[in-house]
Amino acid sequence: MIQHLLHINHVSKHFGGNVAVSDISFSVDEKQIFGLIGPNGAGKTTLFNCISGFYPVTSGDIIFDNKTINNLRPDEVCHLGMARTWQRVKPLGSLTVLENVMIGAFSITNTTREAEEIAMEQLQLVGLTDFSKKSAGSLSIGLKKKLELARVLATHPKMLLLDEICGGLNHTETDTILAIIRDVRYKGATIVFIEHDMKAVTAVCDWIVVLNSGEKLAEGTPEVITRNPDVIAAYLGGGHNA
Amino acid sequence: MKQIILIAVIAGIAALLPFVIGDSPYFIGVLISVLMMAALSSAWNILGGYAGQYSFGHAAYFGSGAYTTMILISKFNFNPLVSMVAGIIVACIIALITGSIVFRLRGHYFGLASIAVAEIVRLSALNFDFTGGAQGILLTDVTLWGLDLNSKIPFYYGMLLVLVLTLGITLYLRTSKTGFYLQAIREDQDAAASLGINLSFYKNKALLISAALTSVLGSLYAVYIRFIDTSAVLDLRLSIEIILTAIIGGVGTLWGPVLGAVLLVPLAEILRSNVIGDALVKHGVVSETSGLGVFLKENLAHAHVLVYGIITVVCILYLPKGILGFFRRVK
C-alpha cells in the first residue's frame, strides 16, 4: 500500500483580512516528485511556510509521517525529516561552502568530523566539491542554488520542499538540478517543489497541484494538467483558449 | 591546533611578565586591567561576535558577580571561591530570565532589553539596603589559602587564568556543533531554523556561557579592589567599553577582543593619568599656569571617552571588521 507521507487537510492561512491560502487539501505519497505550481501570488510559498513551521496555519491540519505538525517550530519540523530550500537563497555568507553544508549535517550528528564527512558527500553529489573552501557569499546564483540543495540534503530528509530551486538558472543548470532531484528520489526521498518553469515541472513531476489566488485550481498528472483549460487560463490570462 | 599553541605561548609570556617588570604595583595594575578587559570582551564576543546577539548590558552580569561575592564575603564570611560560584548562579538566573523572554524575538529587541535589564539591576542595587545602596560595599579583610591578597599578583594570575579559560571555550565552540550553530544564527535566522537549529535554545546557551564568565570576572574584580558601588561595576559605561573593545579589535574573531584590550586599556590609562599633559608642561611646550595648561590639566584626564569615541567612528568607517579583520583582508 502506498503511504501518504504528507497530508494537507483543509488548510487556510489568513493575514488579517487577506486570505493567502484558502481551504487547500492534497496528499503527497512516499517517493513522489510532487509539483506545486501557480501564478505569482497564488499562495505557494505561503503554503510552504505553513508546512515547514514558519507560519502558524489559521485553520486545518498538516500531517507529516502520521504526526500533526501544525504547531511545531521550523527546527522541530526539520528534525522530523522535512527540509526546505528558499526561493530567495539564504547562504550563510561569511561561512565557507563546506561549513554551510556542515550546519545542515549537524542535525543528524553531533561531531564535527562526521558532519564534515556528510557535507563532503553532499557537495560531491551536487558538484560543488571544488568550491568547498570558498565563502558562500561569493558564489554565483546557480552555485548558491546547488549549495541550498546540498545543505538540505545533508539533513538526510525524508521529504524535501524545494522553493523555485531552478529559478534564475539557465537550461544546463536546470537540467543538472533536475537530474539531482531524480537521483535523490531514487534514493528514497519524497520531493515537493514549487516551480514556475512548466517545462521543468512536467519533465520530472509525477503529480501536480495548481494553486490560483490561494485556492486549489486543479490536480493531476502532468499530461492532464497541461491540457486543463482552467490552468491554461490562469497562466495565460482568462478567456483565451490556447 | 595552531591556535591552542598560540594561546599557550601568549599565556606563558603573560605569566612571566611580572618577573620581568618587577613588582611595580602601578604596572601590574594596568596589566590586570588589560587582562580583565580582554577577558570581558572575549566573553561578550561569544554572544555578540559569534551568535550575533549584541548585548548592551553586560555590566549586569559583571555586577551580579561582584555584588554577590562582596555581600556573601562581607556579611556571611563565605569562602571567596564559593561566593564566586554563587555569583555565577545569580548572573545565570538574570541571563535566563532575559533570554527566555527576549530571544523569541528577532532584530534589535535583545539589545534593547539588555540595556533595560542592566538598568533594572543597577537601580535595584542602588536602592536596596543589603547592597549598600549608593555607599557601596567595602571589604576590609579577605583570605584564601594563605595567599597574600594585599598583593596584586594573585589577581594578575587570576585574571590571566579566566582569560585563557575564555579563549579556550571560544576556541572549543568554534570547532564544535554549538559554534557552527551560533554562526549560522548570526548569518541568517530563517535559514538556521530551517536546518534544524533551535534558535532560542542556542542563543540562550551562548548568553549563559557569556554571562557566567563575565560574572567570574566581576567577582575577581570586586575582591581585587575590595570596594564596589553601582558606578564601578554596574554602569552602562562599562557595558559600552566592553563592546567597543571587541568592535575595535575585531568582532567574531578569537584574538580581536584581546587585541582591542591591549591597545585601548593602556591608551585610556595614559590619557587618564594625564601623562600627555604633564609631558607637555615638563618640556615647556605649555606653561602650567597658562589658560591652556589649566585646561589640559582639568580636561585631558576625561578625554579617554572622547578618544574611544573617535577611534570607534574611524573603525566603523574604515575598519568595519576591526583591526584584526583589516589585517586578515590585507593578508
How many angstroms separate the CA atoms of B72 and B80, rounded? 8
How many angstroms separate the CA atoms of B235 and B232, rounded? 6
Question: pLDDT 10s per residue in chain B (331 long)?
Answer: 788 888 888 888 888 888 887 778 888 888 999 999 999 999 999 999 899 898 999 999 999 999 999 999 888 888 888 899 999 999 999 999 989 888 887 878 888 889 999 999 999 988 887 887 778 787 877 777 767 777 788 889 999 999 999 999 999 999 999 999 999 999 999 999 999 999 999 999 999 999 999 999 999 999 998 888 888 888 888 998 899 899 888 888 899 899 999 988 888 888 777 776 677 777 777 777 777 777 777 777 677 777 778 888 888 888 878 888 777 665 4
How many angstroms separate the CA atoms of A12 and B182, rounded? 34
Q: Grid coordinates in use for B317?
A: 568607517
How many angstroms separate the CA atoms of B270 and B254, rounded? 26
* Residue A185 contacts residue A33 (beta carbons within 8 Å): yes
Q: Is B308 on the interface with A (CB under 8 A)?
A: no
Q: What angle do CA A116, A130, B191 make, to 5 degrees?
A: 55
Torsion of CA B78, B84, B86, B88, to 10 degrees: 170
Residues of chain A in contact with residue B176, where contact means CB-CB under 8 angstroms, are 112
Residues of chain A in contact with residue B197, where contact means CB-CB under 8 angstroms, are 75, 103, 107
| Max Cα-Cα span within chain A | 59
Q: Which of residues 55-84 of B touch A (CB under 8 A)?
A: none
Domain that holds residue B220: 2-235
Q: What residues of chain A have any CB closer than 8 angstroms to a CB in chain B?
A: 52-54, 73-76, 78-79, 83-84, 86, 90-95, 99, 102-104, 106-107, 110-112, 115, 151-152, 155
- Which H/E stretch holds residue B287? none
* Residue of A90, A96, A118 for testing the chain B interface, max B β-carbons within 10 Å: A90
One DSSP character per residue, B144-183 reads STT--TTSSHHHHHHHHHHHHHHHHHHHHHHTSHHHHHHH
In the sheet where A215-220 sits, what is the strand order? A82-84, A159-163, A190-194, A33-37, A207-212, A215-220
The answer to whether residue B324 is domain-embedded is: no
Q: Is B183 on the interface with A (CB under 8 A)?
A: yes
The answer to whether residue B184 is domain-embedded is: yes
Residues of chain B in contact with residue A84, where contact means CB-CB under 8 angstroms, are 194
* Residue A81 contacts residue A191 (beta carbons within 8 Å): no
Q: Is B177 on the interface with A (CB under 8 A)?
A: yes
The answer to whether residue B116 is domain-embedded is: yes
* Residue of B106, B171, B188, B194 for testing the chain A interface, max A β-carbons within 10 Å: B194
Q: In chain A, whose CA is at the least distance from the CA of B252? A: A94
Neighbouring residues of B77: CB distance < 8 A, sequence distance ≥ 6? none
- Name the minimum distance, in Å, from the CA of B56 to any CA of chain A: 24
- Name the minimum distance, in Å, from the CA of A126 to any CA of chain B: 18
Question: In this complex, do B190 and A52 lie within 8 Å of one another by their Cβ atoms?
Answer: no
Question: In this complex, do A106 and B183 lie within 8 Å of one another by their Cβ atoms?
Answer: no
Query: Which candidate from A90, A95, A107 shows the least CB-CB separation from B196?
Result: A107
Question: In this complex, do A54 and B193 lie within 8 Å of one another by their Cβ atoms?
Answer: yes
One DSSP character per residue, B83-137 reads HHHHHHHHHHHHHHHHHHHHTTS-TTHHHHHHHHHHHHHHHHHHH-TTTTGGG-E
According to the model, what pLDDT value does residue B41 have? 95
Per the listing, cell 501518504 goes with A4
Q: Where are the alpha helices (DSSP H) in chain B?
A: 2-21, 25-45, 59-76, 80-102, 109-127, 153-174, 177-187, 189-194, 199-225, 230-233, 236-249, 256-272, 275-282, 291-299, 303-318, 322-330
Query: Which candidate from A74, A94, A110 shows the least CB-CB separation from B177?
Result: A110
- Name the minimum distance, in Å, from the CA of B187 to any CA of chain A: 5
The answer to whether residue B289 is domain-embedded is: no
From A87-96, A128-137, B129-138, the region with the lowest mean pLDDT: B129-138
Where in chain A are the domains? 1-81+157-178+195-242
Query: Which candidate from B176, B184, B193 shows the least CB-CB separation from A92?
Result: B184
According to the model, what pLDDT value does residue A113 have? 92
Q: Is B193 on the interface with A (CB under 8 A)?
A: yes
* Residue of A100, A102, A106 for testing the chain B interface, max B β-carbons within 10 Å: A106
How many angstroms separate the CA atoms of B54 and B239, rounded? 11
Residues of chain A in contact with residue B325, where contact means CB-CB under 8 angstroms, are none
Q: Is B312 on the interface with A (CB under 8 A)?
A: no
**Residue A39 carries which DSSP code?**
S
- Name the minimum distance, in Å, from the CA of B311 to any CA of chain A: 25
Residues of chain B in contact with residue A52, where contact means CB-CB under 8 angstroms, are 194
Q: In chain A, whose CA is at the least distance from the CA of B191? A: A90
Residues of chain A in contact with residue B180, where contact means CB-CB under 8 angstroms, are 99, 102-103, 106, 112, 115
Phi, psi of A93 (to 5 degrees): -55, -40
Q: Is B187 on the interface with A (CB under 8 A)?
A: yes
Q: Is the pLDDT assigned to residue A1 strictly greater than 70?
A: no
According to the model, what pLDDT value does residue B29 have? 87
Which of B316, B299, B294 shows the shortest CA–CA distance to B250? B316
**Residue B228 carries which DSSP code?**
E
Give A181 or B303, the one with higher predicted confidence.
A181
A10: helix, strand or coil: strand
- B240 CB burial (10 A radius; 0-12, 13-18, 19+): middle
The answer to whether residue B255 is domain-embedded is: no
According to the model, what pLDDT value does residue B331 have? 46
* Residue B202 contacts residue B183 (beta carbons within 8 Å): no
Residues of chain A in contact with residue B51, where contact means CB-CB under 8 angstroms, are none
Q: Is B197 on the interface with A (CB under 8 A)?
A: yes
Name the β-bridge partners of A19.
Answer: A14
Number of Cβ within 10 Å of residue A66's Cβ equals: 9
The answer to whether residue B189 is domain-embedded is: yes
Question: In this complex, do B193 and A79 lie within 8 Å of one another by their Cβ atoms?
Answer: no
How many angstroms separate the CA atoms of B5 and A235, rounded? 63
Q: Is B194 on the interface with A (CB under 8 A)?
A: yes
Half-sphere exposure of B52 (CA within 13 A, CB side): 18
Half-sphere exposure of B177 (CA within 13 A, CB side): 17
According to the model, what pLDDT value does residue A240 have? 45
Q: Grid coordinates in use for B290?
A: 597658562
Q: Grid coordinates in use for A5?
A: 507521507
Q: What is the ipTM of this complex?
A: 0.88
Number of Cβ within 10 Å of residue A214's Cβ equals: 22
Neighbouring residues of B16: CB distance < 8 A, sequence distance ≥ 6? none
B306: helix, strand or coil: helix
How many angstroms separate the CA atoms of A28 and A33, rounded? 9
Fold (CATH) for A1-81+157-178+195-242: Rossmann fold (3.40.50)
Q: Is the pLDDT assigned to residue A190 strictly greater than 90?
A: yes
The answer to whether residue B296 is domain-embedded is: no
pLDDT band, residue A241 (cuts 50/70/90) = very low
Query: Which candidate from B180, B188, B199 shows the least CB-CB separation from A102?
Result: B180
* Residue of B188, B195, B204, B253 for testing the chain A interface, max A β-carbons within 10 Å: B195
How many angstroms separate the CA atoms of A125 and A36, rounded? 25
The answer to whether residue B330 is domain-embedded is: no
- B155 CB burial (10 A radius; 0-12, 13-18, 19+): buried
